[in-house]
Chain A
Amino acid sequence: MSTYAQKKGFGATIWDYLTTVDHKKIAILYLIAGGFFFVVGGLEAVFIRIQLAVPNNDFVSAGLFNEIITMHGTTMIFLAAMPLVFAFMNAVMPLQIGARDVAFPFVNALGFWLFFFGGVFLNLSWFFDGAPDAGWTSYASLAMASKGHGVDFYVLGLQISGIGTLIGGINFLVTIINMRAPGMTYMRMPLFTWSTFVTSALILFAFPPLTVGLVLMMFDRMFGSNFFVTTMGGNTVIWEHLFWIFGHPEVYILVLPAFGIFSEIFAMFSRKRLFGYSSMVFATVLIGFLGFMVWAHHMFTTGLGPVANAIFAVATMAIGVPTGIKIFNWLLTMWGGSVKFTTPMLYALAFIPSFIAGGVTGVMLASAAADYQYHDTYFVVAHFHYVIVGGVVFAILAGTHLYWPKMFGTMLNDTLGKITFWLFFIGFHMTFFIQHFLGLWGMPRRVFTYLPGQGFETSNLISSLGAVFMSLAVLVLLYNVIMTSVKNVRVGNDPWGDGRTLEWALPSPPPFYNFKQLPLVRGLDAYWLEKMEGKKGMTPAEPLGDIHMPNSSFLPFVIAFGLFVAAFGALFNMDDKAWSVPVLIIGLLITFGAMFLRSVKDDHGFHIHKEDLMEDDNDKGAKA
């Protein structure tokens, strides 16, 4: 075992991460890449707020502004929020169900690299005559009219990273269905695992419509088809349907894991089991199901007619019910508990009023006739930022502090964490609360400027000042991360002291095989149950034996890289560049060659022998 514990050089570490199939390392990759894109998207947000701080501003031009808003939305949803959520799913879910890895470790790595290269490809558009500028929704008539290659970067980049997300989702589904430890029944799974499960199912059904939409648009833009060309009998409303059949579940793909993280936090730091566990599970599944029934509420003003609008209005309101159940269950989890105000708990507490605000405006928006006023105004901008920042980003920040010790073996500074929290919390409400009113006062969204004399000046300035606080919060967090990593104070299995689920029964970070012996799960909050009986760890469910592990592989990186190369060929083929077709072919050859290699070459993995595992134990004993 000693070979694994050796300190590695920098190059070796990089190579290790490029070839890793370990879910814990892939989680770190997702965290780093997602964090990077979060900062990029955040900078774009800052540019937006600078431009809108005063009327008639010329900080950026009208065309550039549209590129910035498009990239802000696309980056934040696809390249920041999703991968960050995936980071926690990867880091925690296998540990929570008592598995040694996900079902398909190779596919897990492939999923990451596809997402990564898709994201890089999309962002490279800044350096090739302009980013996409048709909004993150990329409505077809505008996208088809968009000049330059921006929209092509959008279509191809999202297509590549979308494949990554889809196979990631399938992987999680299979993992949760097949790889639960003995005794871990469905109704004993922690809520974060449940939300991962439902989210993965949503990914499975929501991403194909997006893929279809993107393929149609790709053919229209690159190969001269006419799916969205009205003059040739095409129809642009179909894009709206396809996009929102994906787009609405996407919101739940993001927010359900957030609910999962908060469910863990509320239970942990109240020292109480989750109130109404079964109804929480039921509500999660119901939200996931209803999430597919409401997409047309994004299209109330498209002119679908009163029957469709009325049905989708009522269906949308119905989602409020399971969400309300969750809120009350969280409150009652704390009720009678012993609430400790750690940094993650602060985010969880702040999440309740913030998300409620986003939720109630959601119900207001569901009222179709009234939505004709809200639609495409700053009211909507305020609403979805309350849901996505107040729900998802709060959860990501909370999860970062909560799971940092489990992922890196050291705790983020709690005082700095609280400073981050307060700056972010104040900045967030300052930026977005006022935007509800801007919308009601008649300010449409996605405007690159506004004329004076319409009553928008003061409120926009306040909103922009709020962004300063949020930026400071992110800077403090980055400082915290650096300081913590430099100090590197190691922590034990359960650094918060209140861990309830299986991941806290393991060392921080866990060994690469996670569980030496698979644990026996005797109920909900498995680790907590053992602790309450005075035991130090889990009761093993199997005798100590050899552990079968997968080999590392560079092929996932190569497969994704091939598609990245091919995308450039496809994109510049439109300009009749001589090199474009060869590049396309070379890229596809790389991808399919690597896939062929993977298929024909047997890779049986390796075994960690029982003796090594026992030796590992002795090592630790000696150190202690």
Chain B
Amino acid sequence: MKRLAKWRLISIFAILSLILSGCGEPFLSTLRPAGEVADIQYDLMKLSTLIMVGVIVVVMVIFFIVLIKFRRKDEKIPKQVEGSHKLEIIWTVIPILLLLLLAVPTVSATFKLADVKEMDKKDSDALVINVRSNLYWWEFEYPGQGIVTGQDLVVPTDEKVYFNLISSDVKHSFWVPAIGGKLDTNTENVNKFWLEFDSAKAKEAGDLFYGKCAELCGPSHALMDFKVKTMSRDDFDSWVADMKDVEEPKVAETESAQRGQEIFNKSCIGCHAVTPANATPPEARRAPNLTNFGERSRIAGVLDHSEEDLKKWLKDPEKYKPGNLMTGSYSLTDEQINDVAEYLMGLKVQE
């Protein structure tokens, strides 16, 4: 028995140290909230955990008393008790009160998080972003600014940003854990919500948050990541201005990149746009907009942003994102891939 108790103690300590070892990564964890929405949700988590730990403690105290005190010691038949109205009323009423304690803030938070009235106002200067999910990539359109980008969501900090969410193919779910809970991108209707990005917390996270697809959508569901770049409102405005400056596809500088651009214009431009003002209707945009590809943080959402990785990706996209729709839609030699890679890495809008 003693041995067992020791073993139990060790395992409890092991679990505790695990818990204390971290609340996860600042760019990813819901336990490191970095915005108003995540804060509200984190508060609800703490409140519900607190109440529930209270319940667990009460149950476990009774449980262990029973285990210790009422072991079978002899063959006596215990008294057959029918029940107790007093006790039964107590353990009906107290849980109801506890649940009310949780229900009130839950309801109020639910309404608060769904408040998107600002989006319908005519003269609102709130930032609205249209998110469109596609089989394993994300498109972000800024309708007020007239620009489209993909994979890297760029947002200003310390203000409410409003989102319209929809999907092009199957259902996905838009989630930036450290910033706030998810909302599905349905195939038939637009879902709306808002998020807010806290500048101080964003700095801790390196101004780059991880975003995820949270709804099973096919083989590469696990790899349907995106990133969120946060910046001050001023920086954001200048980013928008830089993006808008690209009215014509930028001409490549080096010789090899120019060859790459030619190949790109033949093989790739049917799906990938390189100007931010995309006139194609949203449903018909078949691949991520690459206007600022050279400034993105990842390739295809999962590979490091390097020319080497880009070449690997272009050579065999199926290997890195099974089931993606780019595989087999072009055929390029290794040399052509080198040129295209150089061209793409040079697609930058900011100095």
Contacts and interface: CB of A to CB of B under 8 A. Distances in A.
A334 B221 contact: no
B110 A309 contact: yes
| Dominant secondary structure of chain B at its interface with chain A | mixed
Contact of B212 (A61, A367, A442): A442
Contact of B71 (A62, A139, A325, A339): A339
Nearest to B25: A455
B188 A235 contact: yes
B24 interface: yes
A305 B114 CA distance: 7
Question: Does more than half of chain A's interface fall in helix, strand or loop, or is it mixed?
Answer: helix
A376 B174 CA distance: 11
A5 to B, nearest CB: 35
B173 A376 contact: yes
A276 B103 contact: no
A361 B41 CA distance: 15
A317 B38 CA distance: 22
A373 to B, nearest CB: 4
B48 interface: yes
Q: Give the interface size bracket for A toward B.
A: 35 or more
Contacts of B189: 237, 303
Nearest to A142: B170
Contacts of B213: 444
A534 to B, nearest CB: 12
Interface stretch (B79-87, B119-127, B241-249, B271-279): B79-87
Contacts of B107: 310, 313-314
A334 B66 contact: yes
B322 A63 contact: yes
Given A331-B66, A369-B106, A324 B188 contact: no
B81 to A, nearest CB: 6
Interface stretch (A116-124, A243-251, A349-357): A349-357
A336 interface: yes
17 contacts: A62-B222, A66-B219, A141-B167, A234-B188, A276-B83, A306-B110, A329-B88, A334-B66, A338-B76, A339-B66, A363-B102, A369-B110, A372-B182, A376-B182, A434-B18, A441-B23, A532-B77
A399 interface: no
A382 to B, nearest CB: 14
B180 interface: yes
A135 B217 CA distance: 9
B25 A372 contact: no
A361 B29 CA distance: 18
B309 interface: no
Interface of A: 61-63, 65-66, 134-135, 139, 141-142, 145, 230, 234-237, 270-273, 275-279, 301-303, 305-306, 309-310, 313-314, 317-318, 320-321, 324-325, 327-329, 331-332, 334-341, 349, 352-353, 356-357, 360-361, 363-364, 366-373, 375-377, 433-434, 437, 440-442, 444-451, 454-455, 458-459, 462, 532
A462 B60 CA distance: 26
Contacts of A447: 221-222
Nearest to B114: A306
Given A141-B187, A325-B88, A451-B302, A375 B48 contact: no
Contact of B110 (A66, A310, A434): A310
B284 interface: no
A275 B322 CA distance: 56
A308 to B, nearest CB: 10
B256 to A, nearest CB: 31
A563 B111 CA distance: 49
The 4 A-B pairs with the shortest beta carbon distances in the complex, nearest first, are: A372-B181, A441-B24, A447-B222, A303-B191
A371 B184 CA distance: 13
Contact of A338 (B70, B111, B184): B70
A132 to B, nearest CB: 12
A408 B224 CA distance: 52
Interface stretch (B89-97, B285-293, B326-334): B89-97
A448 B52 CA distance: 32
B262 interface: no
B86 to A, nearest CB: 11
A500 B182 CA distance: 51
B222 A450 contact: yes
A286 to B, nearest CB: 11
Contacts of B217: 142
A336 B170 contact: no
